[in-house]
């Protein structure tokens, strides 16, 4: 049983990291769902942060020449502010809250462009991205679709978007892991074995995804991102309905 769990865990990390390597998101949403099956919500978010930190660092390093650093700096400021607020209110998540938050995310990617014109390259918008997306990363574990609406309307190419978002995610996941450090430290030695094994697999998966990204057009990248996030969001929303009906 231990070997079977480790094999499934490793495969899930590789495949979800590859998916994130292509779209800069989506894989993390699926990985968090899998982790919620294995761990309590706080521990799942902490483990998710550790694994995604590795995967995103690899993705950012591969495309480091495309990173837009001024945008990263401004968004990071917002993330730190959001983390401070959640720390003050002593926020603690649960599976239902996480499922509802992620289940509603597809509404963001289908929002008409003339409703909200957000652009991460603008200082105020970048700070707002850090506050909202950073807060959601800590509160629900992931925030890819929310970050995406700040980037999808910029004039950046797909490689700049993926590289810059990956760098921001490295910082956000690091902060998230520290936020839930007590939960991470409560893991058993066997569970830590899974996590340590997952780190290199996340990097390998990311490299595989980056290979596919370089063969994709900007138009296909943007269109597929929406549909993939929508499918995952619907799944999470159904899970939320199931959780609240059995509560």
* Residue 200 in tokens: 């290199």
Distance CA 142, CA 134 (A): 9
Predicted TM-score of the model (pTM): 0.81
Q: Are 162 and 63 in contact (CB under 8 A)?
A: yes
DSSP per-residue letters across the chain: -HHHHHHHHHHHHHHHHHHHHHHSSSHHHHHHHHHHHHS-HHHHHHHHHHHHHHHHHHHHHHTGGG--HHHHHHHHHHHHHHHHHHHHTT----HHHHHHHHHTTHHHHTS-TTT----TTSHHHHHHHHHHHHHHHHHHS--HHHHHHHHTTSS--HHHHHHHHHHHHHHHHHHHHHHTHHHHHTS-HHHHHHHHHHHHHHHHHHHHHHHHHTTS-HHHHHHHHHHHHHHHHHHHHHHHHHHHH--
Q: What are phi and psi of 48, to 5 degrees?
A: -55, -40
- Cβ count within 10 A of residue 10: 16
The pLDDT assigned to 12 comes to 82
The pLDDT assigned to 131 comes to 93
How large is the greatest C-alpha to C-alpha distance in the chain, in angstroms?
52
* Residue 104 in tokens: 């509603």
Return per-residue pLDDT of the chain as tens, 247 residues. Answer: 556 776 787 788 888 877 776 665 677 788 888 888 888 899 999 988 888 887 778 778 888 899 999 999 999 999 999 999 999 999 999 988 898 888 887 777 676 666 667 888 888 899 999 999 889 999 988 887 778 778 877 777 778 887 898 899 899 989 999 999 898 888 877 778 878 877 777 777 777 776 676 666 666 666 677 777 788 888 888 888 988 887 6
What is the chain's length? 247
The pLDDT assigned to 83 comes to 94
């Amino acid at each position: 049983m231990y070997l079977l769990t480790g094999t499934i865990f490793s495969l899930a990390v590789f495949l979800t990291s590859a998916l994130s390597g292509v779209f800069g998101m989506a894989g993390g949403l699926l990985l968090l769902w899998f982790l919620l099956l294995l761990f309590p919500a706080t521990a799942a978010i902490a483990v998710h942060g550790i694994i995604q930190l590795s995967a995103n660092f690899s993705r950012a390093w591969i495309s480091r020449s495309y990173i837009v650093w001024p945008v990263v700096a401004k968004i990071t400021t917002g993330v730190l502010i959001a983390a401070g607020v959640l720390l003050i209110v002593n926020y603690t998540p649960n599976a239902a809250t996480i499922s509802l938050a992620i289940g509603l995310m597809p509404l963001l990617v289908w929002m008409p462009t003339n409703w909200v014109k957000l652009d991460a390259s603008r200082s105020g918008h970048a700070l707002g991205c850090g506050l909202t997306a950073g807060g959601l990363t800590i509160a629900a574990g992931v925030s890819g679709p929310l970050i995406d609406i700040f980037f999808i309307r910029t004039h950046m190419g797909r490689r700049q978007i993926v590289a810059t978002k990956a760098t921001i995610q490295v910082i956000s996941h690091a902060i998230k892991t520290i936020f839930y450090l007590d939960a991470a430290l409560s893991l058993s030695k066997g569970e830590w074995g899974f996590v340590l094994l997952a780190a290199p697999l996340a990097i390998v998966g990311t490299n595989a995804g980056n290979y596919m990204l370089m063969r994709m057009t900007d138009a296909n990248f943007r269109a597929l991102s929406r549909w993939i996030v929508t499918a995952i969001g619907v799944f999470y929303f159904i899970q939320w309905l199931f959780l609240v009906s059995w509560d």
